[in-house]
Structure 1
Amino acid sequence: MKSVFISVVLVVFSYGLSCAQPPDTNTDESRIPPYTLPDPLISPNGKAITTVKDWERKQRPYILKLFTENVYGKIPAKPAGMHFKVTETDSAALNGKAIRKQVTIYFAAGDDAPSMDLLLYLPRTNKPAAVFVGLNFTGNHTIAADKAIKPARHLKKKDQQITDSEAIESSRGSSASRWPLEEIINKGYGVATAHYYDLEPDDKDGWKQGIRTTMKDALHIATDAWSAIGAWSWGLSRIQDYLESDAAADAKRTILIGHSRLGKTALWAGANDQRFSIVISNNSGEGGAALSRRVFGETIRNLNTSFPHWFIARYKSYNDHPEMLPVDQHMLLSLIAPRPLYVASAEDDKWADPKGEFLSAKNAAPVYALYKLQGVTVNEMPAVNTPVGATIRYHIRTGKHDVTLYDWQQYLEFAEQNKKSE
């Protein structure tokens, strides 16, 4: 069976952990240059958008197009011939609390098509369950110590002296703290995840092996017309496609979640695919939830220098001029409306600019107000571990750049509160 990639690679180093900051990075509030945010409710001809109808028919497509052309690139449609194969089922996983399924998602006809491995946990209930959907950094087998979980296809070892099997087994469950499965299952929710390398390796040449190349002809899109974040976002929608085929999952209540670069991915996927009922951004920072015009922590130049594959080439033209961008990230958040949105930061994660994430969430509120929904209404950053907001919610917790049990507890509570709007 041919997969997207031939070699088995497992990422055993920590993706999504805070990077060393360049010496010229600004972390001084007094040094932030003055800026003015573009108004998401002002049309290209200067007319105020005052109705949901005008927002959905005119302004929303316009803003989505601006992000497509200037930041993330296009996202192609669902491919023809896509199909699924359940390769393993355990009806008594997690000490009998859950059903575990392992599924291969084939992106074209035939079992030699490019594919992605999905790991799905569902609570043992008599009704379809809402599911948290998110990509993982280090392989499905790292989110739980269960030896039955298929290892990641892609192995990148720090120590080349150890065997692939030794590297795989030593990393089983190494990311379990980021995926508190029992806590999630106990609340009645499921989890669906896949390794983001199955879609495209996270390096500047990853496109050569990933779906931007292997699926280029089938998707009718040029390789440089989209980005790595676009490819990863596209994969999240393909997980949603599978969930719509699984009677045990409530595909109308899927909750999209992502951390760090995968938080950026979740926001872009949620903006493009409105089937996701709730969108959660965890420490997504620059190019995610944080305002670009607020020059603090990571900048557009930092992103495009360290990760030139994440965004399209045109984004580089704004490296030193975020004020020239026709959009800012509060407008990306506004594209989630009217669906519930959660933005979260960490106190020690200055690189991701927590205040910039807060202000972005706050400035998306006027679009939610069109739907008579309340966003973040407080004017100042809340205290740590004190969530604020309604349909748009925000918290900053103690600690570093990570996904913690505290974060998950807030997301589970948010999902419960928004059942009526899912």
Structure 2
Amino acid sequence: MPYSSSFHFKEADELPSIPDLPDPLLSPDGTRVETPGQWMSMRERLKAMVAFYMFGDVPPAPTRVDALTLSTETARDGSRTYTLLDIVVHDIGGSGQDFAFRARQILPARATGERVIVKNSGNPLEPCPIEDRLVADGIELVTFDRTGLAPDGPAMDTGIYPHFPDLKIKVLGAWAWGHMAVNTWLYTRNPDASSPRICIMGHSRGGKATTCAGIVDERIDVVTSSGSGCGGAGCYRGAADMNPKVETVGNITRSFPYWFADRLATFAEREDRLPFDLHTLKALVAPRALITTEGNQDYWSNPIGTGVTCRAAQPVFDLLGASDRNVVYYRDGGHAQNEKDWTAIVDFFVRVTE
């Protein structure tokens, strides 16, 4: 998703105020998108726009990816196998070098490879609160260490950065590329098998990364995020009006400037000048499936704004015949990705891939 594209976008100072959420189906010339074919052209422009202002560059999906087994342990009852892996990307960035990052696979004995959940995390060994449910349903779980792709900080001399010197990659884009690398491995590990159905998961900053990955990699069947808020599933415009405790563009770009393209900070306290909002990111997932989970008391993540942008993205899902594939799940509680969130996501994943 490079922003060095054929499209021309203006800087913040040159843009007018747009108080309401920009209509994703309204072309720059004022005509409306009315067919799926017209949407595909609009989608390319909006993808480039989101890269230019928000995520920065995301490298193309790697084509040769293997998994190196580091250790394997089988559960006493034989129901599942835990495997620690290195995901190995060959010839990264055309450099002739291999690049590896750590992951853990939980493979049910009855798994067919049909359904796989891929989760980004700062700890690939983090427990899954509904592991037994996944095993019973035969759903494979792969959790990868996103910090192996890019550290969660300003340093840009490790991870994938040195392998793509000509791209303006930021942390969320690097983590999204980690999803793309895992997806390539899942698609190519067994040439005789049918294509897997992939659901990606992330919480908070990890949910912002899954949002980015869902836009750039159409091999993903179900895109999910939990408590991703500002820069994820929330809403830029009017965020502080929805709740004074909500995180804003100014908050997030001051605290985590390395997550986003530098331009996003120029919209602090003037989000109304952005030519898109977070509903645009949701629309770019359509017609594939999207579910966001939110805690009603997770005010920083703007659960109200999540509902606003979900509804604003719905016309695109409707246009593409995917009206039932844009969902928000609310529960009581705060900033977490707990058993209820996992259950809602897996229920949705199973339903849309039946």
- Per the shorter chain, which TM-score range? 0.7 to 0.9
Q: In 1, Cα distance between the equivalents of 2:157 and 2:264? A: 21
- Relative to structure 1, the CA distance from residue 136 to residue 259 in structure 2 (aligned partners, 3 Å threshold; closer, same or farther) is same
Rounded to whole Å, the distance in 2 between the matches of 1:414 and 1:273 is 20
The alpha carbon displacement at 1:319 in A equals 1.1
In structure 1, distance between residues paired with 2:116 and 2:84: 15
3-state SS of the aligned residue for 1:262?
helix
Give 2:115's aligned residue. 130
Change (3 A) 1:94 1:132: farther
Q: Kindly provide the CA deviation profile for residues 205-233 of structure 1, in whole angstroms up to 9, marking residues without a partner as x.
A: 2x2222112x125xxx33xx121000000
User: Which of the numbers 169, 184, 190 marks the counterpart of 2:140?
Assistant: 190
TM-score normalized with structure 1 length: 0.73
The separation in 2 between residues aligned to 1:298 and 1:70, in whole angstroms, is 18
Contact 2:289 2:326 in 1 (8 A): yes
Measure, in 2, the Cα distance between the counterparts of 1:269 and 1:234: 7
Letter in 2 for 1:312: A
Match runs of 1:131-146 below 5 Å: 131-137=116-122, 139-141=123-125, 143=126
Q: Which runs of 5+ in 1 are unaligned?
A: 1-33, 144-175, 375-389
Match of 1:275 in 2: 219
Residues 99 and 122 in structure 1, CA contact (< 8 A), matched pair in contact too: yes
The 1:327–1:397 alpha-carbon spacing in structure 2 relative to 1, beyond 3 Å, is same
1:287 and 1:94 map into 2 onto residues whose CA distance is 42
> d(CA) in 2 for partners of 1:351 and 1:126?
38
Map Cα deviations across residues 47-91 of structure 1 (whole Å, 9 max, x no partner): 1000001101x111011010010100111113476443233344x
Kept in 2, the 8 Å contact 1:252–1:276? The answer is: no
Letter paired with 1:129 = E
Q: 1:126 to 1:308 in 2, by over 3 A?
A: closer
Among residues 42, 67, 70, which one is paired with 1:84 in the alignment? 67
Structure 2 residue ranges without an equivalent (≥5): 1-17, 241-245
Query: What fraction of aligned residue pairs are identical, expressed as a percent?
Result: 27
Q: Which amino acid aligns with 1:239?
A: V
State the secondary structure of the residue aligned to 1:373: coil
CA distance, structure 1, for counterparts of residue 330 and residue 302 of structure 2: 11
Matching of residue 405 in structure 1 with residue 353 in structure 2: no
Determine the C-alpha separation between the residues in 2 that align with 1:72 and 1:179. 30
Match of 1:59 in 2: 42
CA contact (8 A) 2:286 2:322 kept: no
- Contact 1:301 / 1:320 at 8 angstroms: preserved in 2? yes
Question: Whole-Å Cα distance in 2 between the matches of residues 405 and 187 of structure 1?
Answer: 16
Q: Is the 8 A contact 1:100 1:120 kept in 2?
A: yes
Aligned partner of 2:280 in structure 1 is 331
1:360 is matched with 309
Separation in structure 1 between the aligned mates of residue 348 and residue 76 of structure 2, nearest angstrom? 24
**Cα distance change, pair 41–363 in 1 and its aligned pair in 2 (3 A):** same
**1:419: how far off?**
1.6
Matched, 1:204 2:189: no
Q: Which whole-Å CA distance do the structure 2 matches of 1:46 and 1:85 have between them?
A: 52
- What secondary structure sits across from 2:105 in the alignment? strand
Note if contact 1:264-1:287 (Cα within 8 Å) is conserved in structure 2: yes
Tell me the SS of whatever aligns to 1:254: strand
Report deviation, 1:246: 3.0
Shift of residue 131, structure 1, vs aligned partner: 0.7
**Residue 94 to residue 208, structure 1, CA distance change in 2 (3 Å):** farther
Residue 245, structure 1, aligned to residue 194, structure 2:
no
Give the paired residue count: 329
Q: Check the 8 A contact 1:130/1:251 in 2, yes or no.
A: no
Q: TM-score with structure 2 length normalisation?
A: 0.87
Cα root mean square deviation, aligned: 2.3
Tell me what 1:385 maps to: none
The CA distance in 1 between the partners of 2:101 and 2:194, in whole Å, is: 21
Q: CA deviation at 1:101?
A: 2.7
Larger relative strand fraction? 2
Q: What is the DSSP-based 3-state SS (H/G/I as helix, E as strand, rest coil) of the residue aligned with 1:204? A: coil
Structure exhibiting the larger radius of gyration computed from Cα positions: 1
